[in-house]
A and B are shown apart, each in its own frame.
Chain A
Amino acid sequence: MNTNLLTLSNVNKRYGDRLIVDSLSFSVAQGSITALLGPNGAGKTTTMKMCAGLFSPDSGSISIAGFDLNVDRRTAQGFTTFLPENVALYTELTGRENLAHLLEISTGIRLSNSDLDKALVVAGLPAEAISRNVSTYSKGMRQKVGIALALAKEAKLLLLDEPTSGLDPHSATEFNRAIHEVAGRGASVLMATHDIWRAREVADRLLVMVQGRLAVEFDPKTLSAEEIERQFFLNVR
């Protein structure tokens, strides 16, 4: 049985003459939270978008739950929920309506209002906000709708691109709690971030990307915060 939910094998991606992702290989185990760290321009977002199936690598392969994204894109995407840095919901609709429509588009499932509300509350959205237009939501609240989508969809893999950037400390902590909620239900999480401290708090495994390559990998449980920080900046420099 394959315990790795996400596997990247020798993935390359080039924009024009510039090599953005260079022979990248790693995997994400089922039920784990993996953080992809790196400075700006390291190729994190490109990697996340390739994992989400938004575009294909120039070479190499990405498989999700054993399904190659290049071959069975629709099936592979069925296991994932991708939340970009700014979760762009439909501002004309309420949080509940957004969740209902996105879930239906994604899975074809139409949940009752109470089930939708339950998912939103579990994701951490205040009950009073559920029926409000998303235009009144903060960035953190929008992300919680995205998390609720992953929960309702029972996604096996949650891909998060810079999820905590721009969040205040309280919202970031709330967000971490929601991530653990998802992981606690058996889903894997891959999050791209340059916030090493926040990543260390939430992730089981830290991968550092530099100039499109995987530079180093840490286990936050075995290294002290200071050592991780020192190693990170040593590699990034």
Chain B
Amino acid sequence: MISSLIRLDLALLRSSRAFWLLFVFLIMAATFALIAGLDWRTRYVNAAQVAREQAAEAHNMLAKVYEDLASGRQEPSDVDNYDGASPFIPDPRDPYVAGFYHEQLAELPPGNLLGLATGSTELRSTHHTIRSVPVATLIRIGEPAERINPGALAAGRFDLLAFIIYLCPLTLAILLFDAVAREREGGQAALLAGLGLRQKELLLARGLTRGSIVLLMALIASIIGLALLGQLMSIAGLIWLGGTSIYLLFWTALLLGVARLGYGLIGSAAIAFTTWLVLLLVMPGLMERALRPSGLLEPRIMADAEVRKVEREVSVDEASRAAAKALVARKYWQVDFDEVPTCANREGIVSEYVVRRLSDEIYTAAMRTGREREQIYEDRLDRWSWLVPTLAFRRSMELVAGVSPIRQRAFEAQAIDYHAQWRNRVTDALFTCYQFTRSDFENAPQFKWNEPLVSSMPWGVMSFLVVFTLLIGRYVLSPYPLFQ
């Protein structure tokens, strides 16, 4: 009987102009989502290439300076007596100068599935140019990096994930509403009931037909996207397909449950639309607001505020400035500032360096504190986001696609650690009269991205969705007086 009902439903859909319009709209939306996603991926890859080329160019420039210095073809500018008019020739051996010119690049590699999900609006820089001199550190000053941050540019755009999360459930709601309410209002449901059909069979058949069509659309779009990215048979690709299937099955069951509650055309439409609105647009925001720790600010804002405060304090008078310098020197470098070796005794430079370093330490500490607070938020989201399947699914799939805020924060943390490591080398050299050699320059440690362990959240979410789907399915299939 179910197969007969499905054949009837397919015949009805075939002859429905509204369905074909919706179908074409879905195809166009999926195509647009894929094109937009792949375009952003291409931009990301191109911009990453540009960033790498720029870093290589800076490296080559310094290599040439080393060569010129070694051959005597060129003399570096005297930092202490630089007139500001002639071209400044950096001396990469000088630790202070090296801090400005020894650039390193920290790059967050694109996730394999970037293109299917371009990421949330929380995405941050995916490339950091790391210098040891704090004021030039792009960890702190984000703007130049943002210009080469396609991940951030792409954030929040329409992509396949948005297609699956927003459009598919909406289409499914419209199709199910159309199926259930129209047959009920039109009297066909009563006619079918008189033929011995049970309400659960009708709902099941309509849900299966229309849910399958929407699921098929989402899966076909996903398969095309995965094939274009060359990730069709990868673990991430299979997780994407599995997650999408489970999510849409959940929506089918949920909307069947909603259709069960609807009495009359307006009632069914109102309930279905309200469900879509609440679960997709309202609940994620409410959940995020409820779980966000109070007073949680963007770490950069907190850090900048801390730095400004300290800079104000140390610039009040010479005595407080000297006290601050002494404090920083003792605290961070375990040296008495008055006993700094003469080789580094370029009062203005070292003094400036200390203030900058102080700012940088404070900034880094504030960033770490901010990240710790954000981690509390992430943990809460991991623990509770399953209550809003839409939010949970988005977080899970962004994780799979490699554009999740979790991955972004891990990258930022690693970049900050790498920055600290590079900065300490310069500081040590400054206070021990060490001159950087060509070998130091060539063998400087490179940033290595360590992919963080994937959160266990997706499995919890998927388990929840499966259980919830079964529970709703059971409710849907229990008897109720549809045909009265």
Whether chain B is bound by chain A comes out as yes
A85 and chain B: residue at smallest CB distance? B187
Kindly identify, within residues 75 to 127 of chain A, every residue whose CB is under 8 Å from any CB belonging to chain B: 77-78, 80-84, 86-90, 92-93, 97, 101-102, 104-106, 108
Query: How far is A74 from B1 in the complex, measured between Cα atoms in Å?
Result: 12
Known A-B contacts A92-B16, A93-B11; the reply to A101 vs B4 at CB < 8 A is: yes
A101 touches B195 (CB 8 A): no
- Residues facing A in B154-213 (CB within 8 A) are 186-188, 190-197
| Docked complex: B36-54 residues within 8 A CB-CB of A | none
Among residues of B, the one whose C-beta sits closest to the C-beta of A106 is B195
When the two chains form the complex, which single residue of A78, A84, A104 contacts B7, counting CB atoms closer than 8 Å? A104
- B483 contact from A54, A83, A86, Cβ within 8 A: A54
Measured between beta carbons, the chain B residues less than 8 angstroms from A220 are: none
Most buried by A among B187, B192, B196: B196
Contact A84 B190 (CB under 8 A): yes
Asked whether any CB of chain A lies closer than 8 Å to the CB of B295, the reply is no
Known: A101-B4, A105-B4. A82 touches B192 (CB 8 A): no
B5 at the interface (CB under 8 A from A): yes
- B187 near A108 (CB under 8 angstroms)? no
- Which of B7, B12, B16, B191 has the most CB atoms of chain A within a 10 A radius of its CB? B191
A156: min CB distance to chain B, Å: 13
Indicate the member of B186, B190, B194, B484 with the most A CB atoms within 10 Å: B194
Tell me, rounded to whole Å, the shortest Cβ–Cβ distance linking B483 to chain A: 5
Contact of B196 among A74, A84, A101, A104 (CB under 8 A): A74
- Let me know if A93 and B192 touch, CB within 8 A: no
Of B11, B16, B193, which one neighbours A54 at CB under 8 angstroms?
A: B193
- Nearest A residue to B5, CB-CB: A105
CB distance from B202 to the nearest CB of A (A): 9
Number of interface residues, chain A, beta carbon within 8 A: 29
- Quick check: is B81 within 8 A (CB to CB) of the other chain? no
Whether the pair A93, B15 counts as a contact (CB closer than 8 A) is yes
**A55 adjacent to chain B (CB < 8 Å):** yes
Given contacts A101-B4, A104-B4, A105-B5, contact A92 B190 (CB under 8 A): no
Q: Are A92 and B483 in contact (CB under 8 A)?
A: no
B196 x A106 contact (CB < 8 A): yes
Dominant SS among interface residues on chain A = mixed
- Please tell me if A198 contacts chain B, counting CB pairs below 8 Å: no
Q: How far is the CB of B197 from chain A (nearest CB, A)?
A: 6
* Nearest neighbor of B19 in chain A, beta-carbon distance: A92
A80 in contact with B194 (CB, 8 Å):
yes
Chain A, Cβ-Cβ closest to B9: A101
Residues of A within 8 A of B220 (CB): none
- Within the assembled complex, what's the spacing in Å between the Cα atoms of A105 and B1? 5
- Rounded to whole angstroms, the CA-CA distance of A34 and B12 in the bound complex is 36
Cβ contact within 8 Å between A55 and B484 = yes
A88 with B196, Cβ < 8 A, contacts A55-B483, A55-B484, A105-B8 known: no
Nearest-Cβ distance from residue B198 to partner chain A, whole angstroms: 8
- Residues of A near B194 (CB, < 8 A) are 52-54, 77, 80-84, 159
The CA of A92 and the CA of B1, in the complex, are separated in Å by: 21
26 CB-based A-B contacts, threshold 8 Å = A52-B193, A52-B194, A53-B196, A54-B193, A54-B194, A54-B483, A74-B196, A77-B196, A81-B195, A83-B191, A84-B190, A84-B194, A88-B187, A88-B191, A89-B188, A90-B12, A92-B16, A93-B11, A93-B12, A101-B4, A101-B7, A101-B8, A104-B4, A105-B4, A106-B196, A108-B4
B contacts, CB < 8 Å to A: 1, 4-5, 7-8, 11-12, 15-16, 186-188, 190-197, 481, 483-484
Footprint of B on A, CB under 8 Å? 49, 52-55, 73-74, 77-78, 80-84, 86-90, 92-93, 97, 101-102, 104-106, 108, 159
